[in-house]
């Protein structure tokens, strides 16, 4: 650590180990006969399934929690934790909302755009 600036080097031991599921046999994403296998793997990566996204959609009346514009405008949508998981927030629907990709970036920017109350959605 540099005592003057307070900067320090990041230690590799601080990075948690993340195990990845191995691809079975000689499966290739380019093989059309294995399309269902690759779709299943992609679904396993998504922490929020269609059911949860649908419930959030209904609760928010199809509107982005930040800009209040329609979520189905063609832009990618993200599920956002209202209280960050690092601060004790969980994956309960009451702690989640849907945002456009750009709105999600605004919320996490250094200026931190504020979410609208869900009752106004």
Per-domain boundaries in the chain = 48-114
pTM for the model:
0.56
E strand intervals along 3-92: 77-81
Tens digits of residue pLDDT in 3-18: 888 887 878 888 888 7
Question: Maximum distance among all alpha carbons in the chain?
Answer: 60
Tens digits of residue pLDDT in 35-61: 887 777 766 666 677 788 889 999 999
Q: Is 48-114 assigned to CATH 3.40.1800?
A: yes
Neighbours of 65 (CB within 10 A): 25
Lookup result for tokens 């000689």: 26
């Amino acid at each position: 650590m540099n005592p003057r600036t307070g900067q320090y080097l990041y230690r590799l031991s601080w990075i948690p180990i993340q195990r990845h599921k191995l691809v079975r046999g000689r499966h290739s994403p380019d093989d059309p006969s294995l399309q269902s296998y690759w779709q299943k793997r992609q679904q396993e990566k998504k922490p929020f399934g269609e059911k949860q996204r649908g419930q959030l959609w209904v609760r928010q009346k199809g509107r982005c929690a930040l800009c209040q514009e329609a979520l189905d405008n063609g832009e990618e949508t993200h599920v956002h934790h209202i209280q960050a998981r690092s601060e004790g927030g969980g994956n309960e629907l009451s702690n989640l909302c849907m945002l456009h990709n750009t709105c999600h970036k605004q919320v996490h920017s250094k200026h931190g755009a504020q979410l609208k109350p869900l009752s106004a959605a």
